Amino acid sequence: MSLSNAIERYLLQLLERARGGAVEIQRNALSEIFGCSPSQINYVLETRFTAARGFLVESRRGSSGFVRIVRLGAPRRVVELLDACVGDHIGQEESLHLIERLKTSGWLSAREAAMLAAAVRRECLAIPLPERDRLRARLIRAMVLSLARSDRDLVPGGEKDAL
């Protein structure tokens, strides 16, 4: 188990216990618990507690500074999520997190999520970067939005607002 994974699990535990879905930590104190450099904490926050995984991180410097990690509820609309997470290019790992999130929030079934996940794998796309990341973004947008349309066609009033 890597340091980053250990820190991630530790923070997830804190979030688990904390009522309200948010925790506040001190970067330096946490880094001492794990005997690592303070910037290691930033690395974990940047790679694990991202918007794509449904977290918001706020912080403040100076005396009595802090780092607050908030577990976000589902965003209002999928389009916003796409705009926020996908942009015009997106990497594989980020995509998989997004897909997982769309699944757990009920927007995608397990089968649909599996399809999407299979499609965005770099072994499947198999074209060189950076065009690969752009293609991946187009695919996710096209497929997810196609669901919105397909639902609208099937259910005339279907205003899915999960996410």
Binding-site ranges for a second copy (CB under 8 A): 1-3, 5, 63-64, 109-119, 121, 124-127, 131, 135, 138-139, 142-143, 145-147, 149-151, 153-154
Contact of residue 79 among DNA, a second copy, none (CB under 5-8 Å per partner type): none
Partner whose binding site includes residue 88, from DNA, a second copy, none (CB under 5 to 8 Å by kind):
none
In the complex, which residues of this chain contact DNA (CB under 7 A)? 2-5, 25-29, 36-43, 47, 57, 59-67, 91, 93, 123, 129
Indicate the residue among 60 and 76 with the shorter CB distance to DNA.
Answer: 60
Q: How far is the CB of 77 from a second copy (least distance, A)?
A: 17
Query: 3-state SS of the chain?
Result: CCHHHHHHHHHHHHHHHCCCCEEEECHHHHHHHCCCCHHHHHHHHHHHCCCCCCEEEEEECCCCCEEEEEECCCCCCHHHHHHHHCCCCCCHHHHHHHHHHHHHCCCCCHHHHHHHHHHHCHHHHCCCCCHHHHHHHHHHHHHHHHHHHHHHHHCCCCCCCCC
- Give the one entry of a second copy, DNA, none that residue 115 binds, where binding means its C-beta sits below a cut-off of 5 to 8 angstroms depending on kind: a second copy
* Residue 15 interaction partner, one of DNA, a second copy, none, beta carbon < 5-8 Å per kind: none
For a second copy, give the closer residue by CB, 77 or 160.
160
Q: In the complex, what is the shortest distance from the CB of residue 80 to a second copy, in angstroms, rounded to a whole number? A: 19
> Closest CB to DNA among 40 and 105?
40
Query: CB of residue 24 vs DNA: minimum separation in angstroms?
Result: 9
Residue with tokens 């802090």: 66
Phi then psi for 25, rounded to 5 degrees?
Answer: -130, 170
